[in-house]
Amino acid sequence: MMDEARSYFDARGQVFAPHEGAARIVSLSSGLTDLLFALDLGEKLVGCTGDCAKSMDGLVAISKVGEIDDLDLRKIADLNPTHILVHLSATPQPVIDALAAADLPLLAVDVQMVQDNLDLYTLLGGVFQVPTAADSLARRFEAAQARVKMAMRAKSLRRVLYLDQDNPYKTIAKQSYAGSLMALARFELVGAPDQFQSADDAVIIEPESLILGVDRVLFNGSPARFKRAQIKAFAERYEVPRAKLIRLDHDLADQFGARAIDVMDELIALREKADRAD
Protein backbone atom coordinates (compact mmCIF):
# COMPACT_ATOMS: atom_id res chain seq x y z
CA MET A 1 0.00 0.00 0.00
CA MET A 2 1.11 3.57 -0.65
CA ASP A 3 1.87 5.90 2.24
CA GLU A 4 -0.51 8.86 2.02
CA ALA A 5 1.92 11.02 4.04
CA ARG A 6 4.67 10.88 1.45
CA SER A 7 5.40 13.32 -1.37
CA TYR A 8 5.36 12.48 -5.07
CA PHE A 9 7.47 13.77 -7.95
CA ASP A 10 5.98 14.33 -11.39
CA ALA A 11 7.87 14.12 -14.70
CA ARG A 12 9.02 17.75 -14.44
CA GLY A 13 10.45 17.23 -10.98
CA GLN A 14 7.66 19.06 -9.20
CA VAL A 15 6.78 17.84 -5.72
CA PHE A 16 3.17 16.99 -4.88
CA ALA A 17 1.66 16.14 -1.52
CA PRO A 18 -1.59 14.16 -1.35
CA HIS A 19 -4.29 16.64 -2.36
CA GLU A 20 -6.63 17.78 0.39
CA GLY A 21 -10.10 19.03 -0.48
CA ALA A 22 -12.01 18.76 -3.74
CA ALA A 23 -9.79 18.14 -6.77
CA ARG A 24 -10.67 19.79 -10.08
CA ILE A 25 -8.78 18.00 -12.84
CA VAL A 26 -8.27 18.95 -16.48
CA SER A 27 -6.88 16.13 -18.62
CA LEU A 28 -5.00 16.83 -21.85
CA SER A 29 -4.54 13.14 -22.75
CA SER A 30 -7.15 10.53 -23.59
CA GLY A 31 -5.02 7.85 -21.92
CA LEU A 32 -4.89 9.86 -18.71
CA THR A 33 -8.62 10.53 -18.88
CA ASP A 34 -9.20 6.77 -19.13
CA LEU A 35 -6.96 6.25 -16.14
CA LEU A 36 -8.87 8.78 -14.03
CA PHE A 37 -12.05 6.77 -14.49
CA ALA A 38 -10.23 3.50 -13.76
CA LEU A 39 -9.09 5.07 -10.47
CA ASP A 40 -12.67 6.18 -9.66
CA LEU A 41 -11.68 9.82 -10.15
CA GLY A 42 -14.01 10.55 -13.06
CA GLU A 43 -16.19 12.87 -10.97
CA LYS A 44 -13.13 15.07 -10.38
CA LEU A 45 -12.72 15.73 -14.12
CA VAL A 46 -13.83 19.26 -15.07
CA GLY A 47 -12.15 19.65 -18.47
CA CYS A 48 -10.57 17.65 -21.29
CA THR A 49 -9.49 17.94 -24.91
CA GLY A 50 -11.78 17.20 -27.82
CA ASP A 51 -9.69 14.11 -28.52
CA CYS A 52 -10.47 12.79 -25.03
CA ALA A 53 -14.19 13.30 -25.63
CA LYS A 54 -14.05 11.40 -28.93
CA SER A 55 -12.30 8.41 -27.37
CA MET A 56 -14.63 7.95 -24.40
CA ASP A 57 -18.34 7.86 -23.71
CA GLY A 58 -19.89 9.90 -20.92
CA LEU A 59 -17.89 13.11 -21.38
CA VAL A 60 -20.64 15.20 -22.98
CA ALA A 61 -21.05 17.38 -19.90
CA ILE A 62 -17.30 17.94 -19.44
CA SER A 63 -15.90 21.25 -20.70
CA LYS A 64 -13.76 20.91 -23.83
CA VAL A 65 -10.59 23.00 -23.83
CA GLY A 66 -9.47 22.54 -27.45
CA GLU A 67 -6.95 20.11 -28.89
CA ILE A 68 -3.45 19.48 -27.63
CA ASP A 69 -1.87 21.77 -30.24
CA ASP A 70 -4.58 24.44 -29.97
CA LEU A 71 -5.58 24.80 -26.32
CA ASP A 72 -7.82 27.54 -24.97
CA LEU A 73 -5.69 28.66 -22.03
CA ARG A 74 -8.26 31.18 -20.82
CA LYS A 75 -10.96 28.51 -20.75
CA ILE A 76 -8.65 26.19 -18.84
CA ALA A 77 -7.91 28.91 -16.28
CA ASP A 78 -11.62 29.73 -15.92
CA LEU A 79 -12.28 26.12 -14.87
CA ASN A 80 -10.18 26.84 -11.77
CA PRO A 81 -8.34 23.50 -11.94
CA THR A 82 -6.28 22.14 -9.09
CA HIS A 83 -4.34 19.87 -11.48
CA ILE A 84 -3.82 19.79 -15.26
CA LEU A 85 -2.66 16.36 -16.39
CA VAL A 86 -0.28 16.43 -19.35
CA HIS A 87 1.68 13.62 -21.01
CA LEU A 88 5.07 15.07 -21.92
CA SER A 89 6.05 12.56 -24.61
CA ALA A 90 2.84 13.25 -26.54
CA THR A 91 2.82 17.03 -26.12
CA PRO A 92 4.82 19.49 -28.27
CA GLN A 93 7.30 21.50 -26.22
CA PRO A 94 5.78 24.89 -27.17
CA VAL A 95 2.49 23.73 -25.64
CA ILE A 96 4.23 22.75 -22.39
CA ASP A 97 6.00 26.11 -22.35
CA ALA A 98 2.73 28.00 -22.91
CA LEU A 99 0.97 26.12 -20.10
CA ALA A 100 3.87 26.77 -17.73
CA ALA A 101 4.08 30.46 -18.72
CA ALA A 102 0.38 30.85 -17.93
CA ASP A 103 1.15 29.65 -14.39
CA LEU A 104 -1.34 26.81 -14.66
CA PRO A 105 -1.10 23.91 -12.16
CA LEU A 106 0.55 21.24 -14.31
CA LEU A 107 0.98 17.66 -13.17
CA ALA A 108 3.21 16.11 -15.81
CA VAL A 109 3.64 12.42 -16.55
CA ASP A 110 5.95 10.79 -19.06
CA VAL A 111 5.29 7.14 -19.84
CA GLN A 112 8.27 6.24 -22.02
CA MET A 113 8.56 2.51 -21.34
CA VAL A 114 6.11 -0.22 -20.34
CA GLN A 115 7.30 -0.36 -16.71
CA ASP A 116 6.59 3.36 -16.31
CA ASN A 117 2.92 2.47 -15.92
CA LEU A 118 3.63 1.35 -12.36
CA ASP A 119 5.09 4.75 -11.48
CA LEU A 120 2.07 6.41 -13.10
CA TYR A 121 -0.36 4.44 -10.95
CA THR A 122 1.64 5.33 -7.84
CA LEU A 123 1.78 9.04 -8.73
CA LEU A 124 -1.92 9.54 -9.40
CA GLY A 125 -2.97 7.14 -6.67
CA GLY A 126 -0.90 9.07 -4.16
CA VAL A 127 -1.66 12.63 -5.24
CA PHE A 128 -5.41 12.01 -5.43
CA GLN A 129 -5.49 9.67 -2.42
CA VAL A 130 -6.82 6.55 -4.11
CA PRO A 131 -4.01 4.12 -3.20
CA THR A 132 -6.23 1.04 -3.10
CA ALA A 133 -7.47 1.58 -6.66
CA ALA A 134 -3.91 2.29 -7.82
CA ASP A 135 -2.55 -0.85 -6.17
CA SER A 136 -5.31 -2.90 -7.81
CA LEU A 137 -4.35 -1.57 -11.25
CA ALA A 138 -0.69 -2.31 -10.55
CA ARG A 139 -1.46 -5.94 -9.67
CA ARG A 140 -3.59 -6.37 -12.79
CA PHE A 141 -0.88 -4.81 -14.94
CA GLU A 142 1.82 -7.08 -13.54
CA ALA A 143 -0.35 -10.15 -14.10
CA ALA A 144 -1.06 -9.10 -17.69
CA GLN A 145 2.61 -8.46 -18.37
CA ALA A 146 3.48 -11.87 -16.94
CA ARG A 147 1.03 -13.47 -19.40
CA VAL A 148 2.83 -11.81 -22.31
CA LYS A 149 6.25 -12.93 -21.11
CA MET A 150 4.98 -16.49 -20.67
CA ALA A 151 3.43 -16.51 -24.15
CA MET A 152 6.68 -15.22 -25.70
CA ARG A 153 9.11 -17.46 -23.85
CA ALA A 154 9.68 -19.77 -26.84
CA LYS A 155 9.26 -17.15 -29.57
CA SER A 156 12.13 -16.04 -31.75
CA LEU A 157 12.56 -12.44 -32.84
CA ARG A 158 10.54 -11.33 -35.84
CA ARG A 159 11.90 -8.46 -37.91
CA VAL A 160 9.16 -5.94 -38.60
CA LEU A 161 8.79 -2.55 -40.24
CA TYR A 162 6.49 -0.42 -38.11
CA LEU A 163 4.84 2.44 -39.98
CA ASP A 164 3.57 5.09 -37.61
CA GLN A 165 2.48 7.65 -40.20
CA ASP A 166 1.83 8.01 -43.92
CA ASN A 167 2.87 10.72 -46.39
CA PRO A 168 5.74 10.61 -45.66
CA TYR A 169 6.25 7.23 -44.00
CA LYS A 170 7.58 7.56 -40.46
CA THR A 171 8.50 5.00 -37.82
CA ILE A 172 8.84 4.88 -34.04
CA ALA A 173 11.91 4.75 -31.81
CA LYS A 174 13.01 1.51 -30.18
CA GLN A 175 13.30 3.27 -26.81
CA SER A 176 9.76 4.62 -26.81
CA TYR A 177 6.55 3.41 -25.24
CA ALA A 178 5.31 1.84 -28.47
CA GLY A 179 8.77 0.42 -29.08
CA SER A 180 8.86 -1.23 -25.67
CA LEU A 181 5.49 -2.86 -26.36
CA MET A 182 6.87 -4.21 -29.64
CA ALA A 183 9.86 -5.62 -27.79
CA LEU A 184 7.57 -7.45 -25.36
CA ALA A 185 6.01 -9.26 -28.32
CA ARG A 186 9.49 -10.17 -29.60
CA PHE A 187 9.31 -7.85 -32.60
CA GLU A 188 12.59 -6.34 -33.79
CA LEU A 189 12.03 -2.87 -35.28
CA VAL A 190 13.88 -2.46 -38.57
CA GLY A 191 14.87 1.04 -39.67
CA ALA A 192 14.00 2.50 -36.27
CA PRO A 193 16.33 4.78 -34.29
CA ASP A 194 17.16 3.94 -30.70
CA GLN A 195 15.39 7.02 -29.37
CA PHE A 196 13.93 10.44 -30.13
CA GLN A 197 14.94 13.60 -28.32
CA SER A 198 11.45 15.12 -28.12
CA ALA A 199 7.77 14.62 -28.97
CA ASP A 200 8.34 16.57 -32.19
CA ASP A 201 11.02 14.20 -33.51
CA ALA A 202 10.32 11.57 -36.14
CA VAL A 203 12.27 9.50 -38.63
CA ILE A 204 11.20 9.47 -42.26
CA ILE A 205 11.92 6.12 -43.86
CA GLU A 206 11.88 4.70 -47.37
CA PRO A 207 10.10 1.31 -47.16
CA GLU A 208 11.47 0.08 -50.49
CA SER A 209 14.97 -0.23 -49.04
CA LEU A 210 13.72 -2.18 -46.00
CA ILE A 211 10.90 -4.44 -47.24
CA LEU A 212 13.07 -7.38 -48.24
CA GLY A 213 14.65 -7.56 -44.79
CA VAL A 214 11.46 -7.84 -42.74
CA ASP A 215 8.96 -10.58 -41.92
CA ARG A 216 5.96 -8.27 -41.50
CA VAL A 217 4.90 -4.67 -41.98
CA LEU A 218 2.87 -3.27 -39.09
CA PHE A 219 0.69 -0.17 -39.39
CA ASN A 220 -0.38 2.23 -36.65
CA GLY A 221 -3.97 1.29 -35.79
CA SER A 222 -5.32 4.83 -35.45
CA PRO A 223 -7.88 5.56 -38.21
CA ALA A 224 -6.32 9.02 -38.43
CA ARG A 225 -3.00 7.44 -39.44
CA PHE A 226 -3.85 4.51 -41.73
CA LYS A 227 -7.07 3.55 -43.45
CA ARG A 228 -7.65 0.36 -45.46
CA ALA A 229 -7.18 2.21 -48.75
CA GLN A 230 -3.75 3.43 -47.67
CA ILE A 231 -2.63 -0.07 -46.73
CA LYS A 232 -3.93 -1.43 -50.03
CA ALA A 233 -2.00 1.29 -51.87
CA PHE A 234 1.15 0.35 -49.92
CA ALA A 235 0.78 -3.31 -50.91
CA GLU A 236 0.41 -2.39 -54.57
CA ARG A 237 3.19 0.18 -54.63
CA TYR A 238 5.79 -2.06 -52.98
CA GLU A 239 4.42 -5.38 -54.30
CA VAL A 240 4.05 -6.85 -50.83
CA PRO A 241 1.68 -9.80 -50.21
CA ARG A 242 -1.28 -8.67 -48.13
CA ALA A 243 -0.57 -11.48 -45.65
CA LYS A 244 2.61 -9.64 -44.62
CA LEU A 245 0.71 -6.45 -43.78
CA ILE A 246 -0.98 -6.10 -40.39
CA ARG A 247 -2.90 -3.09 -39.13
CA LEU A 248 -2.88 -2.84 -35.36
CA ASP A 249 -6.00 -2.25 -33.28
CA HIS A 250 -4.71 1.01 -31.78
CA ASP A 251 -2.05 3.65 -31.78
CA LEU A 252 0.32 1.91 -29.36
CA ALA A 253 1.61 5.23 -28.02
CA ASP A 254 -1.83 5.81 -26.45
CA GLN A 255 -2.06 2.42 -24.76
CA PHE A 256 -0.74 3.37 -21.33
CA GLY A 257 -2.31 3.72 -17.91
CA ALA A 258 -5.40 1.55 -17.54
CA ARG A 259 -5.22 0.70 -21.24
CA ALA A 260 -1.85 -0.98 -20.71
CA ILE A 261 -3.60 -3.91 -19.06
CA ASP A 262 -5.79 -4.78 -22.04
CA VAL A 263 -3.05 -4.13 -24.59
CA MET A 264 -0.97 -6.94 -23.10
CA ASP A 265 -3.45 -9.57 -24.26
CA GLU A 266 -3.70 -7.77 -27.59
CA LEU A 267 0.07 -8.14 -28.00
CA ILE A 268 -0.28 -11.90 -27.59
CA ALA A 269 -3.00 -11.96 -30.26
CA LEU A 270 -0.91 -9.74 -32.55
CA ARG A 271 2.10 -12.04 -32.32
CA GLU A 272 -0.08 -15.08 -33.00
CA LYS A 273 -1.51 -13.34 -36.06
CA ALA A 274 1.97 -12.49 -37.31
CA ASP A 275 3.08 -16.10 -36.87
CA ARG A 276 0.02 -17.50 -38.66
CA ALA A 277 0.77 -15.41 -41.74
CA ASP A 278 3.74 -17.66 -42.64
What are the residue boundaries of the structural domains of the chain, listed by start? Answer: 8-144, 155-276
Report the percent of the chain where pLDDT is more than 70: 93
Domains 8-144 and 155-276 share a fold: yes
Reported as a single tens digit per residue, the pLDDT across 157-178 is 999 999 998 889 999 999 999 9
- pLDDT, position 203: 73
Mean pLDDT, rounded, of the chain: 91
Q: What's the predicted TM-score (pTM) here?
A: 0.92
What is the DSSP annotation of 54-118? HHSSS-TTSEE-EETTEE-HHHHHHT--SEEEEEGGGS-HHHHHHHHHTT--EEEE---STTHHH
pLDDT of residue 198: 54
* pLDDT tens profile 208-238: 889 989 999 999 998 778 988 999 999 999 9
Nearest to 260 by CA among 137, 84, 157, 156: 137
* Whether pLDDT at 111 is above 90: yes
pLDDT at 127 over 50: yes
The pLDDT value recorded for residue 202 is 64
Section 6-19 average pLDDT = 96
Is the pLDDT reported for residue 278 higher than 90?
A: no
The pLDDT confidence band at residue 200, using thresholds 50, 70 and 90, is: low
- The CATH superfamily label for domain 8-144 reads Nitrogenase molybdenum iron protein domain (3.40.50.1980)
The fourth-level CATH superfamily of domain 155-276 is: Nitrogenase molybdenum iron protein domain (3.40.50.1980)
